[in-house]
Amino acid sequence: MSQLQEARHHRCAKVQAMDLLPVFLNLRGRLTLVVGGGAVAARKTDLLLKAHARVRVVAPRLHPKLARLREAGQIEHQAVEFAPIHFDDVQFAIAATDQPEVNQAVATIGAARNIFVNVVDDGGASSAIMPAIVDRSPLILAIGTAGQSPTLARRVRAQIEAMLPERLGDLAAFAGAARERVRRALPQLDRRRRFWDQLFSGRVAGEVLAGKTREAEAQLDEQLRIAATDHVAARGEVYLIGAGPGDPDLLTLRALQLLQQSDVVLYDRLVSAAVLERVRRDAQLIDVGKQSGSHRVTQQRIHALMVEYAARGLRVARLKGGDPFIFGRGGEEIDLLRRSNIPVTVVPGVTAALGAAAAACLPLTQRGLSPSVTFVTATGEGAADLDWRALAAPLQTVVFYMGVAQLPRIVEHLRAQGAPGDRPVAIVERATLPGQRVIAGSLNTINELAQRARLIAPALLIVGEVASRAVHSAQLLQTHLSSGVDKT
């Protein structure tokens, strides 16, 4: 399976794992049933009324809030124990009593009558689960954990609440009101999408979020006029994005934003499937790191693809493992794009050395131990040109980006230039990815340790005193043979 297929497959697998379908119910004017008269029932009733549902509350006694609603004529109240007849004409029900058998009865009768029932705090008995809600109406986010952990859902809600501007709902409403106008002015879908993207990241959105609706209106008119009269094909652009070492949480916010607005994504072998998950769903994903036979897509071909797509007016993300400017050929790519007059934005990424150091809890520099750090690539013929004497010197950290097969040669070169056999080294395999491993040893022992561990790519070698600090964390699956460290 190619990496692209794998990535797509991964997406499908996720979708299949979704047991519940999130939907927004239109309950306006429809009859709903709340069984229970306590504080929880009152909260649920409030929600249903907010959605303009009619609410029948069945409970012998009512919480003062519910009593007020009854007095105001906003709910229908049956002051009796729950009975099946209360389901008559009902389309959706919530069981919110503190008696499990009553809640269960509501669920059972609801099921028999094909009516969706939410049982408060009992996902197993519910045929409908109420999500945690972030309300920026008309923008509404519903967060659910399939009843597994309402607490987790509430925590996620709190995080999202903090992230979203207070007036986001106003922005959604503003966009909704302008939608028809924009559609008429820009009939082509791709131009319209571009217009909205620019609008949401630009001045108009800023004004709406600042509460200056009138200024935003004027701006919108102006921008729409420009967009509609600009007949030159929209110019494409390229985003040269560092994808980090693998864990998608290590993407920068800007990388995420740009991946969400890219039309085409050209990605490397080192870009993890989890990172590809964060790409806009309808973007075209192109694997340019794939080895077909023994041939990779050549660098020229990658250049040609970038230029070709950008020339069609598309937004092209060139997504690379780690940082684009650390052993990533990013320099060549921007030179070419400049020559072709294609605008390019570079977004840095967490380079593998930094990901590995953090993952192994190993400081790359440390007072007294190592005042400097060098990043070296030891792949291909380049290794012969390195200043091995300088790399073998003490009191420094050297990080080798390497093919695993190069390890014996690196050790040999360093030893030949006088590096002692007990110099600490650590290998971090698949840093920040699932199954990450840290192997710690010395120049003397590392070849054997690596062999025994059956090291696979990608992996980094860290050489220097700091490597002795490679972490002994219980979370890391670690092959650490301190007894194997030769102190001679």
Closer by beta carbon to ligand SAH, 147 or else 458: 458
Size of the site for ligand SAH (CB under 6 A): 26
Nearest distance from C-beta of residue 397 to ligand SAH, angstroms: 15
Q: Which of 170, 263, 268, 287 is catalytic?
A: 268
Contacts of 63 (CB under 8 A, 6+ apart): 37, 38, 39, 41, 42
Closer by beta carbon to ligand SAH, 57 or else 259: 259
Closer by beta carbon to ligand SAH, 279 or else 399: 399
- Tokens 């970038």 locate to 306
Nearest distance from C-beta of residue 323 to ligand SAH, angstroms: 4
Catalytic residue status for 290: yes
Closer by beta carbon to ligand SAH, 45 or else 432: 432
Closer by beta carbon to ligand SAH, 305 or else 433: 433
Q: Which of 46, 122, 221, 290 is catalytic?
A: 290
Closer by beta carbon to ligand SAH, 236 or else 246: 246
Residue span 384-423 as binding mask against ligand SAH, x where in contact by CB under 6 A, dash where not:
-----------------xxx--------------------
The reply to whether 236 sits near ligand SAH by the rule CB under 6 A is no
Encode 279-312: b = buried (16+ Cβ within 10 Å), e = exposed: bbeebebbbbbeeeeeeebeeeebbebbbebbee
Nearest distance from C-beta of residue 429 to ligand SAH, angstroms: 6
Q: Which of 208, 229, 104, 122 lies closest to 165, judged by CA?
A: 208
Closer by beta carbon to ligand SAH, 314 or else 446: 446
Report the residue from 351, 370, 468, 478 that binds ligand SAH according to the rule CB under 6 A.
351
Residue type, 134: V
Using CB under 6 A as the binding rule, the residues of this chain from 296 to 335 that contact ligand SAH are: 320-323, 326-328
- Any idea how long the chain is? 488
Nearest distance from C-beta of residue 193 to ligand SAH, angstroms: 31
Q: Which of 85, 88, 66 lies closest to 76, judged by CA?
A: 66
Report the residue from 172, 234, 433, 481 that binds ligand SAH according to the rule CB under 6 A.
433
Range list of β-strands (E), 288-393: 291-292, 295-296, 315-320, 344-347, 373-377
The reply to whether 348 sits near ligand SAH by the rule CB under 6 A is no
Q: Is 414:481 a contact under the CB 8 Å cutoff?
A: no
Closer by beta carbon to ligand SAH, 107 or else 463: 463
Q: Which of 420, 412, 429 lies closest to 464, judged by CA?
A: 420
Q: Is 93:110 a contact under the CB 8 Å cutoff?
A: yes
55: helix, strand or coil: strand
Q: Is 275:295 a contact under the CB 8 Å cutoff?
A: no
Q: Is 316:262 a contact under the CB 8 Å cutoff?
A: yes
Closer by beta carbon to ligand SAH, 62 or else 241: 241
Distance CA 350, CA 256 (A): 14
The reply to whether 460 sits near ligand SAH by the rule CB under 6 A is yes
Nearest distance from C-beta of residue 265 to ligand SAH, angstroms: 17
Using CB under 6 A as the binding rule, the residues of this chain from 352 to 371 that contact ligand SAH are: 352, 355-356
Nearest distance from C-beta of residue 219 to ligand SAH, angstroms: 40
Using CB under 6 A as the binding rule, the residues of this chain from 177 to 206 that contact ligand SAH are: none
- Span near ligand SAH by CB under 6 A; candidates 12-20, 154-162, 348-356, 465-473: 348-356
DSSP-derived letter for residue 484 is G
The reply to whether 283 sits near ligand SAH by the rule CB under 6 A is no
The reply to whether 439 sits near ligand SAH by the rule CB under 6 A is no
Q: Supply angle C-alpha 175, 224, 234, rounded to 5.
A: 110
Which residue in the shown chain puts its C-beta closest to ligand SAH? 322
Using CB under 6 A as the binding rule, the residues of this chain from 149 to 178 that contact ligand SAH are: none
- Tokens 């390497």 locate to 402
Distance CA 306, CA 286 (A): 11
Catalytic residue status for 320: no
Consecutive H or E run containing 424: strand 424-429
Nearest distance from C-beta of residue 391 to ligand SAH, angstroms: 16
The reply to whether 246 sits near ligand SAH by the rule CB under 6 A is yes
For 379: left if phi > 0, alpha if psi spans -120 to 50, otherwise beta; the answer is: beta
Number of Cβ within 10 Å of residue 148's Cβ equals: 11
Q: Is 337:344 a contact under the CB 8 Å cutoff?
A: yes
Beta pairing, strands 139-143 & 92-95: unpaired
Among all residues, which ones are annotated catalytic?
268, 290
> What are the residues binding ligand SAH (CB under 6 A)?
245-246, 270, 320-323, 326-328, 351-352, 355-356, 401-403, 428, 430-433, 457-460
